[in-house]
């Protein structure tokens, strides 16, 4: 019977055309074109190629010579660790705590999730005010605690910390919600059985909640790692052009910098290819890590 309605396939074609047209023209064609572009000579955005670059692998060889690529890869790697430990770790901690208390659960969920809804650009401005040298919120706060010296939060040694803290803070709530949903899916009977056997709360968390959350934690980790490769808004608003002294570049902001500021469009394309490859490889790696230690 159901087959009868959908025997005529012509409507299906019409239903699918707009979406696939969009995806082909705006995703698939540009994606492959971008790989092609990374072997061309393009110096203006929107301009045409001046032919193949010589040698064809120039841009990729350039990556190894370019100190800033090293810097942005190193920073992105640190960012990944921060997102893994800081975001996912903190989210696990918060989710388990909220799961074990009786009051204010809904309130915590609403409030923790809130920063994700706000545009990262606005948060960048907000954190600029908070970290202001003379004197933003933090330095004023430290002053009331008796510190006399002002901290320059954007100085070289500490800039990375200042940049990553807000990024981490913003997305904790996101993983928190995913994890708390996972915790709610764990059947109460398991906890009851553990309670009868005399389990302490810590044992309950260690032997029931965490093992059963494994897949959810794996998903979160993949998202955190690939997400770190794509961060743009907050770092670019707080530390435009990799300042101070190009030490805060991330893969995403460096790609933008090369394309828009340095006018190296072909090199920017090659950096974009690097982002894609890294994202692909790293998500495979994270998946493999979680699979290996199966028990």
Partner 1 sequence: MNKEKLSVGKILVYLFLIFWALTTIYPIIWVIQNSFKAKDKILSNSFALPFGELFTAANYRKAFGNLNILGAYKNSIFISFVVCACVVLFAGMCAYALSRYSFKGSGFLYSLVVASMMFPVYATIIPVFTMEAKWGITNTSSWFLTMISVILPQVAGNLAFAIIVLVGYIKGLPIELEEAAFMEGCNAYQIFFKVIVPLTKPSFATVAIFGFLWSYNDLFTQMFFLRRPEMRAITRLLNELTSQEGTNYGLMAAAVTLVVVPVVIVYIFLQKYIIKGMTAGAVKG
Interacting residues with partner 1 between 63 and 102 (CB under 8 A): 90, 94, 97-98, 100-102
CA-CA distances (angstroms) from residue 257 to 78, 157, 242, 251?
A: 20, 22, 8, 10
Nearest approach, Cβ of residue 295 and partner 1 (Å): 26
Angle between helices 90-99 and 105-117 (to 10 degrees): 150
Question: Which member of 39, 71, 160, 173 binds partner 1 (CB under 8 A)?
Answer: 173
Does 213 contact partner 1 by CB under 8 A?
no
x-or-dash string of contact with partner 1, 218-257, rule CB under 8 A: -x---x--xx-xx-xx--xx--x-----------x--xx-
Is residue 132 involved in binding partner 1 (CB under 8 A)?
yes
- The reply on whether position 164 binds partner 1 by CB under 8 A is no
- With binding defined as CB under 8 A, does residue 210 bind partner 1? no
Quote the least distance from Cβ 12 to partner 1, whole Å. 4
Q: Cα 216 to chain center, whole Å?
A: 17
Instruction: Tell me how far apart the alpha carbons of residues 8 and 186 are, in angstroms, rounded to a whole number.
Output: 44
Mask 27-56, x = binds partner 1 (CB under 8 A)? Answer: xxxxx-xx--x-------xxxx--------
Contact between 242 and 67 under an 8 Å Cβ cutoff? The reply is no
SS3 40: strand
Q: Which is nearer to partner 1, 202 or 293 (CB)?
A: 202
* DSSP state letter for 55: S
Among 59, 76, 221, 259, binds partner 1 (CB under 8 A): 259
Distance, CA of 57 to CA of 37 (rounded, Å): 11
187 interacts with partner 1 by CB under 8 A: no
Give the tokens for residue 51. Answer: 């032919």
């Amino acid at each position: 019977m159901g087959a009868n309605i959908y025997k005529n396939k012509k409507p299906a074609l019409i239903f699918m055309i707009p979406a696939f047209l969009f995806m082909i023209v705006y995703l698939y064609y540009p994606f492959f074109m971008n790989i092609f572009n990374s072997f061309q000579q393009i110096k203006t955005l929107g301009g045409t190629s001046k032919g193949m670059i010589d040698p064809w692998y120039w841009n990729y060889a350039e990556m190894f010579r370019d100190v800033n690529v090293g810097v942005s890869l190193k920073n992105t790697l640190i960012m990944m660790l921060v997102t893994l430990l800081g975001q996912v770790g903190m989210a696990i901690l918060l989710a388990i705590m909220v799961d074990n208390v009786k009051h204010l659960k809904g309130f915590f969920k609403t409030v923790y999730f809130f920063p994700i809804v706000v545009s990262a650009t606005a948060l960048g401005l907000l954190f600029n005010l908070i970290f202001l040298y003379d004197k933003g919120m933090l330095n004023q706060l430290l002053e009331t605690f008796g510190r006399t010296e002002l901290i320059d939060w954007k100085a070289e040694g500490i800039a990375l910390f200042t940049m990553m803290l807000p990024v981490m803070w913003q997305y904790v709530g996101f993983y928190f919600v995913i994890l708390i949903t996972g915790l709610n899916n764990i059947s109460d009977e398991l906890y009851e059985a553990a309670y009868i056997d005399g389990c302490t709360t810590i044992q309950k968390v260690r032997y029931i909640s965490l093992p059963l959350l494994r897949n959810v934690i794996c998903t979160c980790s993949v998202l955190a790692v690939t997400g770190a490769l794509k961060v743009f808004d907050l770092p670019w608003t707080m530390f435009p052009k990799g300042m101070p002294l190009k030490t805060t570049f991330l893969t995403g902001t460096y790609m933008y910098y090369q394309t828009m500021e340095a006018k190296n469009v072909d090199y920017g394309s090659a950096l974009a290819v690097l982002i894609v490859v890294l994202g692909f490889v790293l998500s495979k790696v994270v998946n493999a890590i979680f699979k290996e230690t199966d028990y």
